[in-house]
């Protein structure tokens, strides 16, 4: 009886160890696969017309009370997701579908992709990692007012404390890295 229990205990310990190792590797992979500044800048240059069209639409829609659009959600300035009929009054299905196509073009079509915006700035979320309130994201920012701090590179900033950093890539365009 003791031999059988010892054998089961070994298998249980082995199973827990293997599960922990695989889970740790998956989490570690999620923490290391941010695109480089070079990759994001190349994507921006290749698909600049899509980014510019999204910017124009977003600045127009910010005047209507919209402040966030993702492939599957629209949010108003009041920080709430509107009912379908409310959304359609402000943002037609055709307009939302145009955003969705532009998100695909710009590489912002993943579940957390999309944009947040106000009257003078548009933030494009390219990738995010971590849990809500404890993670980091990297993307693009359009603004006429230079954000601070501007750094030479956003690669390898994850060792720093919470904050937000920017790298200029073109006139009024920046890469953005935020860590919470």
Distance separating alpha carbons of residues 177 and 167, to the nearest angstrom: 9
Provide CB contacts within 8 A for 36, sequence distance 6+: 155
Asked whether the whole model's pTM tops 0.85, one would answer: no
Q: What is the mean pLDDT of the chain?
A: 83
First vs last Cα of the chain: how many Å apart?
A: 52
Q: For residue 99, is pLDDT > 80?
A: yes
pLDDT at 27: 41
Q: For residue 1, is pLDDT > 90?
A: no
Q: Are 140 and 174 spatial neighbours (Cβ–Cβ below 8 Å)?
A: yes
Report pLDDT digits (tens) over 45-97.
999 999 999 999 999 999 999 999 999 889 998 877 889 999 999 999 999 99
pLDDT at 34: 87
């Amino acid at each position: 009886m003791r031999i059988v229990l010892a054998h089961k205990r070994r298998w249980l310990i082995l199973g827990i160890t293997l599960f922990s190792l695989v889970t740790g590797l998956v989490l570690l992979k999620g923490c290391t696969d941010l695109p480089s500044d070079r990759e994001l800048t190349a994507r921006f240059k290749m698909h600049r017309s899509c980014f510019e069209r999204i910017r124009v639409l977003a600045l127009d829609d910010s005047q209507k009370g919209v402040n966030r659009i993702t492939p599957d959600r629209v949010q108003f300035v009041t920080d709430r997701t509107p009912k379908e009929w409310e959304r359609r009054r402000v943002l037609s299905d055709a307009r939302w579908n145009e955003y969705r196509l532009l998100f695909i073009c710009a590489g912002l079509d993943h579940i957390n992709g999309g944009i947040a915006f106000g009257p003078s700035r548009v933030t494009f979320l390219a990738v995010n990692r971590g849990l809500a309130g404890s993670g980091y994201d990297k993307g693009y920012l359009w603004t006429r007012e230079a954000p601070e701090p501007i750094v030479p590179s956003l690669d390898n900033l994850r060792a720093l404390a919470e904050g937000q950093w920017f790298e200029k890539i073109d006139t009024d365009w920046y890469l953005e890295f935020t860590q919470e």
